[in-house]
Structure 1
Amino acid sequence: MQSYQCFDAIVIGSGPGGESAAMGLAKQGKSVAIIERYHCVGGGCTHWGTIPSKALRHTVSRITEFRQNPLLHNDNLYTIKPSFADILHHAAQVIKEQVRMRQDFYHRNGCKILYGEARFIDSKTIAVHHDDNSSDILEANFIIIATGSRPYRPETVDFTHARIYDSDTILQLTQQPKNIIIYGAGVIGCEYASIFRGLSVKVDLINTRSHLLAFLDQDMSDALSCHFSNDG
């Protein structure tokens, strides 16, 4: 079954960019439709990027503080060793709350959310194909594309291999590794290096540049390198 609907604006993608655009237009009294390919709003930022990694990092930071607190150093308490799967469970709860909050933003501002794959029919018309093989046709004078980004996957790397992950699929890791090699020492690489090292995983961080996070001041980059080195 196919329906036809008209809006002032259509936003493709419900990540930070799409959300900001939709909220801004809705607050100006415009009718707005949001199209999201995933089954929940939030985009990569909420489900695979910023929110999960920050939740993981926060949990690992608390674990590190616990281990370094001299008041808590006794044989019984120090046996607490959460795994990557354990902290992923916590991150999943954070993601769930973020999705609920963002859905509430859209509903309060009168934005219509459609889940499915967006395809242009012409410059003002979008077809939305749903998982159940149904579709909707949307029309608007303004269409905003906010589909975000994805991890770069070199053709020479077999990402179907069971032990190879990118920054999105690493959240599907179910077993605690004893060691991990992270290729790429940008913000995401350094963040996950810190997370896994905080879980006592041996980490080899491969940097293809002259120093870590080259956009930082040299002293800050050196301090980060020193921290990683001291942390093993």
Structure 2
Amino acid sequence: MNHYDLIVVGSGPAGRRAAIQAAKLEKSVLVIERGRRVGGVSVHTGTIPSKTLRETALNLSGWRERGFYGQSYRVKQDISADDLRRRLLITLDHEVEVLEHQFSRNRVQHIRGTAKFTDPNTLEVEKTDGEVMHVSATSILLSVGTRPYRPTNIPFDGAAIIDSDELLEIKQVPRSLIVVGAGVIGIEYATIFSALDTQVTVVEPRQSMLDFIDKEIVEDFTYQLRDRNMKLIFGQTVEKIEKDENGKCRIELSNHRVLQSETVLFAAGRMGATDTLNLPAAGLEADSRGRLKVDPETFQTSVPHIYAAGDVVGFPSLASTSMEQGRIAARHAVGAPASEPPQYFPYGIYAVPEISTCGLTEEEVIERGIPYETGIAHFRETSRGHIMGLDTGLLKMIFSRKTRRLLGVHIVGEGATELVHIGQAVLNLKGTVDYFVENTFNYPTLAEAYKIAGLDAWNRMGEGPKEAPVATGESLDKNLGVMKKAASS
């Protein structure tokens, strides 16, 4: 039986980052992946596919140009499911090739098969060819990810009534779609298909959606969705889903309302893929959603040499944070110094429009009793927004009145997931409102919204320097003068 310093079960973002980190520390590493190819949920059914689908939909539909050319503008008149899939397959192949090369370059061994515990240090692996082998390790990391939650009362058929994994295999773009669940996955797919001019209805049992996002951002986002005729039904549960004699899907809600559509996407949560691991043999137990509880600093489970990272440990379930969790867990597992997880990380929702946030929401600031002020900028206030034809988009920053420090940045609109990193850097470096008003941003860019929002907050706060910095040609001339002087010397 082969023994390793670290065995990683699952090759998603957490697993692959952990494996490569341990290998770089010259430890023997084995990755076990039961999928057809390495990459895990992130590469094959989650992060990469959904974001590729989004980009393809926006490109082919001409969505980004409709501000100039009208709502009827399309790059490709008839968009098929094959059109959406073509770019997806190319992207996935590239992702897998990069990952396999990383494993090879760092001498990470990997095998295809399904693993389960026989004792806390030993795993039995049933390989895809039927061979059964046993491997052991000093430390084990579980990064098995999640799969869609599929309640028994939903008659999934893989064609008209589907989950988020099956959505990638649809035969045609539906003319109408009901999305059950207004979480991140449900909202992303709902808005992507709305951009393809599919008639979309979202049903959510809660009274609102995306409760962890700043309320003002959610309100702006909700307005944009309703403005383009998406139907959002809150506070209602799905009592029954069935197909009528014409093949249409029929949904009964708790208020007796009946909805009909060509396709139903059930996206109400995900389950940790831990049911095949035989956790009791390792002394572990998952919760009702198949997730594992871990120490938030080391990612150790209740069994000290067994770690878990990624979606299987729950919120925030982001590829970016999962990678960092895997890296920290691997370093701790092999006895190397490990830094604490970052206090503030960006959260990105790749809907149409994008939402991204970092730091405290206004609701959290109020709850903590912090005196604060906000600064707001609309993308239409920037020259870059005019060039791009944007009439929507909002950037909001929250500052402490006492320290003037940035407490949170929240963005909804085109490029939000890229723009947020400026705010993230200032936030983690404990920067203040003065950074945004005193520094120069490239012109014309959407990043100028930071200066506009900074000046908005600066004016409202009424503290700091005696004279407010100006965001006009005067400050630009001054900066250029300094630059010319430096260049000539």
Shift of 1:67: 4.5
Tell me the distance in 1 between the aligned counterparts of 2:78 and 2:101: 36
Question: Residue 224 and residue 34 in structure 1: after superposition, are their counterparts in 2 closer, same or farther (change >3 A)?
Answer: same
User: RMSD of aligned C-alpha atoms?
Assistant: 1.9
Could you list the per-position Cα deviations for residues 162-204 of structure 1 after superposition, in whole angstroms to 9, with x for gaps in the alignment?
3111111111111221101000011111110111111111101
Tell me the distance in 2 between the aligned counterparts of 1:92 and 1:209: 36
Shift of 1:153: 1.3
Name the residue aligned to 1:60: 57
Report the 3-state secondary structure (helix = DSSP H, G, I; strand = E; otherwise coil) of the residue aligned with 1:34. Answer: strand
Q: Does 1:80 align with 2:77?
A: yes
Selected match of 1:117 from 91, 104, 114? 114
Identity %: 35
Please identify runs of 4+ aligned residues in structure 1 that moved more than 6 A. Answer: none
Shift of 1:53: 0.6
Name the residue aligned to 2:175: 178
Unaligned 5+ residue runs, structure 1?
none
Name the residue aligned to 1:19: 16
Aligned residue pairs: how many? Answer: 226
Name the residue aligned to 2:196: 199
Tell me the distance in 2 between the aligned counterparts of 1:211 and 1:218: 10
Q: Does 1:165 align with 2:162?
A: yes
Tell me the distance in 2 between the aligned counterparts of 1:162 and 1:84: 13
Deviates more, 1:82-91 or 1:43-52: 82-91
Report the 3-state secondary structure (helix = DSSP H, G, I; strand = E; otherwise coil) of the residue aligned with 1:55. Answer: helix
Report the 3-state secondary structure (helix = DSSP H, G, I; strand = E; otherwise coil) of the residue aligned with 1:116. Answer: strand
Tell me the distance in 2 between the aligned counterparts of 1:85 and 1:67: 24
Q: Which has the higher contact order (CA 8 A, sep 6+)?
A: 1
Tell me the distance in 1 between the aligned counterparts of 2:99 and 2:46: 16
Alignment check: 8 A CA contact 2:179 2:200 kept: yes
TM (normalized to structure 2)?
A: 0.44
Q: Which structure carries more helix by proportion?
A: 1
Report the 3-state secondary structure (helix = DSSP H, G, I; strand = E; otherwise coil) of the residue aligned with 2:148. Answer: coil
Tell me the distance in 2 between the aligned counterparts of 1:163 and 1:214: 29
Unaligned 5+ residue runs, structure 2?
230-489
Shift of 1:160: 3.2
Name the residue aligned to 1:70: 69
Shift of 1:135: 2.4
Tell me the distance in 2 between the aligned counterparts of 1:162 and 1:60: 20
Alignment check: 8 A CA contact 2:158 2:166 kept: no
- Determine which structure has more spread, i.e. the larger CA radius of gyration: 2
Tell me the distance in 1 between the aligned counterparts of 2:158 and 2:115: 30
